[in-house]
Structure 1
């Protein structure tokens, strides 16, 4: 699983509010638990942030409960940007769910050290691990002090794409000589397309829209455009060529934000983009209120369920049209885990095992939700949606990158304090005009993040850990090629 997918899972995830739903199984069955002669079922609390993917989860719960009649799953889908805080609060108050998707913060190794999680070794036998591709369980990634805490769910794939509304583009005359819809690949292509849409519609349709109510969409735009321009850290990590954050020293960030402000000034961007949610923005895009939107593969199931299939997608648009950096993953990966306070850990494992099964992964792919960690599941012949096939064809834009914790496991124990304001707030401040000096705002952000990292490393050294800032730098890394741990 790529970190962008985790961050997609981290960054990555579609934001919206959804209530929990209790799906209860029957009681008087051979699989039920008995207490004092009374028959009862174990009820597991399960948390995720899946909104567009909710139909897959609901179906898996239905199938699981049919096969495990003594276990009921109570699902709660939390607001994406609030998920880390809600999980931390639940842990502190002793109300953590039994099974949950891992939050972006704190880091997985910190969740382990703080006693949030149950090691899976009791159930994750060598035979169970062998179901996964080689390299799926890695010390410093999903294994800590020899104990397994999670597993990869998805194969490497691009977490963000630019979606193109065919109807809007055709109305604006954005078609190729053969009549097919023009698909922009460069920053200039996108500017020209947005201008054509605004001009031909008389300002009634916009070139680009997004939903930043949960502060996620602006970082997505920065991530997609700057990564394609050659900034391999994107918004997710330091630039591992130098081991430092580069928001202020890498001009791609200022260049893109300056371009974004120009699009806003020229009325190319849907004017309510800062106040609507990503879910609303996706609905408006499907209705043709604007011609382009940035999002992930999670966009597709809801659109297609609603009958909207008139779109194409492209990833990593760049100034030249050829991506200069890619999405980076790592050996190992993580998504789901079991709480250290789970009341029925064996039942919790049964649900987590089902969640990670090859059969569930196959249904994930067939539903168009993403790629499975099991390569056999990712057969294009099993994909019926033409748009999802476009996504599958983009798999080559995600490759393995450097992982400091693999080269030096002590790095996993470095606890970096959050630096505030971070990129979501800085991006919003720049877009709304509260921060008028773009280079200055980005340099101050870079300095805050690098100071937080160096402070954390110094503290770890003071605690006897053999770490240094050099552990984050991989001078031999070519961002255009997969990085292998053999180099480190």
Structure 2
């Protein structure tokens, strides 16, 4: 969900700053020390963009150094929206860290072809790989040319949830017989809850709210509700992973669920159920307003929780995939394979960097990741809601079954990693903003036009990728309620 990176002019100026000191000055970081205060024999540099997750990283560094007193980890946490550019600058300056979180751009295949990363097959033996779930290591995803460069750390997760403010719901009488909050599960439940909030508050509390100043959060609403109706293409997901893999195309206009959800949102808007300034405030402001009870429901992700916890706000619950009927007809999908950290090809301390790599990917580190409320682990045994003491995050962990591995064209044909899909404008965020504000009077026409442009862009990109065809993106046998685990060659 991070914002796009376009900092070229900044980087031209930054390039004049030589050495690691200049780069570190753009970031916040901590340095580890050896056990018992002794000086370690080797110090490895490590970069990430984890801010709210820093406590987990720092604890892992402490535990790692206790187990490896001859290795110190010097951590630098870069600003997330500058991270990719700073990594690129570090490589151009021939001064990258020894081990780093894999940046989101350029594509991982390009990072490999540019010799940024070191294959870890020397250490990541078949025995090491066997502890991971099936389809964790996939050519074209985290394996390139038969060599392994990174690995999945987190399991596919329900990336969006509907957050429920307990106080607002209780004030509206939305409670069960035992006094607990009555959580909505279906579209009708959400509508009825909104009606009760608007009626009981006399219009003083909005049923819904969001912050769309960055032109992204409206797509979260569409994405969350359309999945429950049975559409696998995530409207809030960029790039190829946002398409409907049943047909290998986008279906914004031809899949009726998209229009149905938009009509539902516009019906709610016509009743003045959305916080009036939702289009102009930021997501951060919307989180603060939800915390204060200015509206009863909002859509977001688990990233909401750390800030609310800091403010000692815990009076909320979360649900996911509200559907027209009781059971969701589609889920959240993540690709097989994955990425987290990688060893730099430029490191002079490969063995020590691998030791830190191995530690981060250990089941124990993953268990602590879940227990500290950071996310889901790639190891299913770690995702036990009972191990989490914080109730809202325990609810999130309990939703792990709402996210599974989905189809991945790279398994069928690794050459699809060469498909470079250009940005299409106006995109789904622009279309939704236009519909919501009334600038676009024909929602169906706008969705159909967007679908055509997206599919045309894909077709043009496929033509430029040797050995790739449109058939590589279609999985007609996909059951939307199950994981898709076709093995290579199937």
Cα RMSD of the aligned pairs, angstroms, is: 3.0
Distance 2:344 2:435 in 1: 39
Equivalent residue, structure 2, for 1:319: 324
Distance 2:310 2:481 in 1: 36
Equivalent residue, structure 2, for 1:420: 425
Equivalent residue, structure 1, for 2:142: 142
1:373-392 Cα offsets, whole Å, 9 max, x none, are 12332233322233333223
Distance 2:143 2:128 in 1: 15
CA shift, 1:341, in A, is 4.5
Equivalent residue, structure 2, for 1:263: 268
Aligned pairs for 1:86-105 (under 5 A) are 98-105=98-105
1:6-42 Cα offsets, whole Å, 9 max, x none, are xx6899xxxxxxx832212348845234xxxxxxx55
1:100-135 Cα offsets, whole Å, 9 max, x none, are 433444433343334443322233233432332343
Equivalent residue, structure 1, for 2:21: none
Q: Is the 8 A contact 1:140 1:409 kept in 2?
A: yes
Distance 2:40 2:157 in 1: 39
Aligned pairs for 1:1-400 (under 5 A) are 20-26=27-33, 29-33=38-42, 41-42=43-44, 44-48=45-49, 50-64=50-64, 67=68, 70-79=71-80, 98-235=98-235, 236=237, 237-342=242-347, 344-400=349-405
Task: Classify 1:338/1:195 alpha carbon distance in 2 versus 1 (closer, same or farther; 3 Å).
Answer: farther
- How many residues were matched structurally? 460
**Greater mean deviation of Cα atoms: 237-246 or 420-429:** 420-429
Distance 1:435 1:83 in 2: 36
Task: Classify 1:209/1:148 alpha carbon distance in 2 versus 1 (closer, same or farther; 3 Å).
Answer: same
Task: Classify 1:68/1:20 alpha carbon distance in 2 versus 1 (closer, same or farther; 3 Å).
Answer: farther
Task: Classify 1:166/1:434 alpha carbon distance in 2 versus 1 (closer, same or farther; 3 Å).
Answer: same
Gaps of 5+ in 1: 1-7, 12-18, 34-40
1:423-443 Cα offsets, whole Å, 9 max, x none, are 333333333444443223222
Distance 1:136 1:157 in 2: 15
Three-state SS of the structure 2 residue aligned to 1:394 is helix
Distance 2:85 2:198 in 1: 40
Three-state SS of the structure 2 residue aligned to 1:471 is helix
Task: Classify 1:398/1:79 alpha carbon distance in 2 versus 1 (closer, same or farther; 3 Å).
Answer: same
CA shift, 1:59, in A, is 2.9
1:69-114 Cα offsets, whole Å, 9 max, x none, are 753433324345x655665666667676554433444433343334
Task: Classify 1:274/1:96 alpha carbon distance in 2 versus 1 (closer, same or farther; 3 Å).
Answer: farther
Distance 1:357 1:444 in 2: 47
Three-state SS of the structure 2 residue aligned to 1:393 is helix
Distance 1:428 1:83 in 2: 28
Distance 1:265 1:89 in 2: 49
**Greater mean deviation of Cα atoms: 19-28 or 363-372:** 19-28
Equivalent position to 2:460, from 447, 455, 458 = 455
Q: TM-score, normalized by length of structure 2?
A: 0.83
Three-state SS of the structure 1 residue aligned to 2:263 is helix
Task: Classify 1:374/1:109 alpha carbon distance in 2 versus 1 (closer, same or farther; 3 Å).
Answer: same
Q: Is the 8 A contact 1:414 1:460 kept in 2?
A: yes
Three-state SS of the structure 2 residue aligned to 1:415 is coil
Distance 1:233 1:146 in 2: 30
Distance 2:70 2:437 in 1: 53
**Greater mean deviation of Cα atoms: 274-283 or 396-405:** 274-283
Distance 1:342 1:428 in 2: 46
Distance 1:220 1:127 in 2: 40
Distance 2:213 2:348 in 1: 36
Gaps of 5+ in 2: 5-25
Q: Is the 8 A contact 1:300 1:369 kept in 2?
A: no
1:402-421 Cα offsets, whole Å, 9 max, x none, are 22111222222323223233
Q: TM-score, normalized by length of structure 1?
A: 0.84
Distance 1:342 1:190 in 2: 53
Distance 1:227 1:261 in 2: 18
Q: Is the 8 A contact 1:110 1:415 kept in 2?
A: no
Three-state SS of the structure 1 residue aligned to 2:29 is strand
Three-state SS of the structure 2 residue aligned to 1:222 is helix
Task: Classify 1:398/1:70 alpha carbon distance in 2 versus 1 (closer, same or farther; 3 Å).
Answer: closer
CA shift, 1:245, in A, is 0.7
Distance 2:443 2:112 in 1: 38
